[in-house]
Amino acid sequence: MFHILGAKDMAGEGLVFHAMDPLAYALLLIGPAALIWRRRAPIPVLLITLAASIGFATIAAPRWVFLVAPLVACWNAVKQGRGRPAFLASVAGYVAYAVVTVVISSELGLAPETRPGLRTLVVLAVALLLSLFLGGAARAQSEHMAEVMKARAERARAKEEQERRQASEERLRMARELHDVLGHHLSLISVQAGVGLHLMDNQPEQAREALTAIKTASAEALREVRAVLGVLRPEEEAAPRQPTLGLDRLDELTGSAGLPVTTTRTGLPRPLPAELDRAAFRIVQEALTNVRKHAGPDAKAEVSVDYAPDGLRLSIRNDGEVGSPGESEGSGIAGMRERAVALGGSLQAGPLPNGGFLVTVSLPVAGSAAQEGGAREGGAREGGVQEGGAREDGAREGGVQEGGAREDGARKGGARAGGAREGGESA
């Protein structure tokens, strides 16, 4: 566009000493058209644009309008990493232009007006050198941006790997807790079944077989759980001996958090499923740990526990410092979110507009409540079976005692009758 419009203006001013025929337009369009392939072949494109501009320079006065394509090609070649070939090609084109338009212009029969002055040659040399410099600067900037993008991608990959590792560690810790819970309850079942089997030797054979099956199944389940999950606990780590973790120990947790913590409870407190109670405690524990690590020494925290009808809602807020946007999600948030999602809940965490950080958690309890109701119904059934067995034992025991009393009475009566007969015979 610059070449065509500039050449038309020059022709109107009488600065083009040749008719604007197809040959002149071809010399003007060859250079811009060659720029289409500047990324694939930067040096050949540079040579073509230089040749086309020198060709048009032999029929027109020296002007900058037909030098746009060579300057763009020179800049592009350096940006593509072909700085040395581009410099040599530019020097060769500059020398060729000077020789054609100055040294042998008379022999070629060129118009005197096509001959450039010293000022024009100096400006042309500076323009070529500036194009080379800008191309090098553009290449350096692109390399810097590539390094920045590579570093960002590496950081993102490292963060993703860290979150994946944290999720794996959290799953491992949850599996350990599952191992402890199942090991305790299955052991209890096995002990109770053995005691029942020992105390009910006089029961029917079916009761014996049922208790034997319970004991065998519970022991087998316990062995399988230990075989599958036992490898998850390192050998040097002892089994936990502290009470079960839950929100009933929240005051103990906040009291030993190492910073001022205000606890607020709303709603009607009620027993929660063990896994949900333990997960809520762990989430609050991890959130307070993050506050102590990242919010500064003067930070204060507020813990809110809301016993909603359909679930449990937690809120952990602090007024401390907040890191950079890339660091706003602490290292423990991935684990906390993993716990919440595993129970069908959700977790949101982020900085507050007026400073500080907020973690909100929503944990549903509908499914767990149904399971708790089933457990209560099973306990009731078990109690009914035990009560019925006790009644049956009492009835049998009473029957035996009553039969024994009757038998003793009969024997005593028989002895008395025998004594009377013996007395009659003696008389």
51 with 77, same domain? yes
Helix, strand or coil for residue 109? coil
392 with 423, same domain? yes
How far apart are alpha carbons 67 and 64 in whole angstroms? Answer: 5
201 with 226, same domain? yes
User: What is the 3 state secondary structure string of 271-329?
Assistant: CCCHHHHHHHHHHHHHHHHHHHHHCCCCCCEEEEEEEECCEEEEEEEECCCCCCHHHCC
264 with 324, same domain? yes
345 with 384, same domain? no
User: Within a domain: residue 137?
Assistant: no
**What CATH number is attached to the domain comprising 299?**
3.30.565.10
- pLDDT given at position 220: 65
114, 101 Cβ separation under 8 angstroms: yes
284 with 344, same domain? yes
User: Within a domain: residue 138?
Assistant: no
Quick count: other Cβ atoms within 10 Å of Cβ 100?
17
User: Within a domain: residue 398?
Assistant: yes
Local structure of residue 376 (DSSP, 8 states): H
* Residue 111 domain boundaries: 2-116
User: Within a domain: residue 272?
Assistant: yes
* Residue 184 to residues 25, 27, 395, Cα–Cα distance (Å): 93, 91, 36
User: Within a domain: residue 156?
Assistant: no
- pLDDT given at position 253: 84
21 with 86, same domain? yes
- pLDDT given at position 369: 40
84 with 184, same domain? no
Helix or strand holding residue 361 (H, E): strand 357-364
| φ, ψ (nearest 5 deg) of residue 311 | 170, -170
Domain count for the chain: 4
* Residue 406 to residues 64, 409, 418, Cα–Cα distance (Å): 137, 5, 18
How far apart are alpha carbons 65 and 2 in whole angstroms? Answer: 6
pLDDT per position in the chain (427 positions), as tens? 656 666 666 766 777 777 777 887 888 788 888 889 888 999 999 999 889 888 888 888 787 777 888 889 999 999 988 889 999 999 999 899 888 888 887 888 888 888 888 888 898 899 989 999 999 999 999 889 999 999 999 999 998 898 888 888 877 776 766 666 566 566 656 666 766 676 676 666 666 666 776 677 676 666 666 655 555 555 455 555 555 678 988 888 888 777 889 999 999 998 888 889 988 998 998 888 888 778 777 788 999 999 998 899 999 999 877 665 444 455 578 888 888 998 899 999 989 888 889 999 999 986 444 344 443 443 434 444 334 343 444 434 343 333 443 434 433 343 333 333 433 333 2
286 with 320, same domain? yes
276 with 355, same domain? yes
User: Within a domain: residue 151?
Assistant: no
93 with 173, same domain? no
What's this model's pTM, rounded to 2 decimal places?
A: 0.43
Strand ranges of the sheet holding 346-351, from the earlier edge strand across to the other edge: 261-267, 301-308, 311-318, 357-364, 346-351
User: Within a domain: residue 143?
Assistant: no
224 with 261, same domain? no
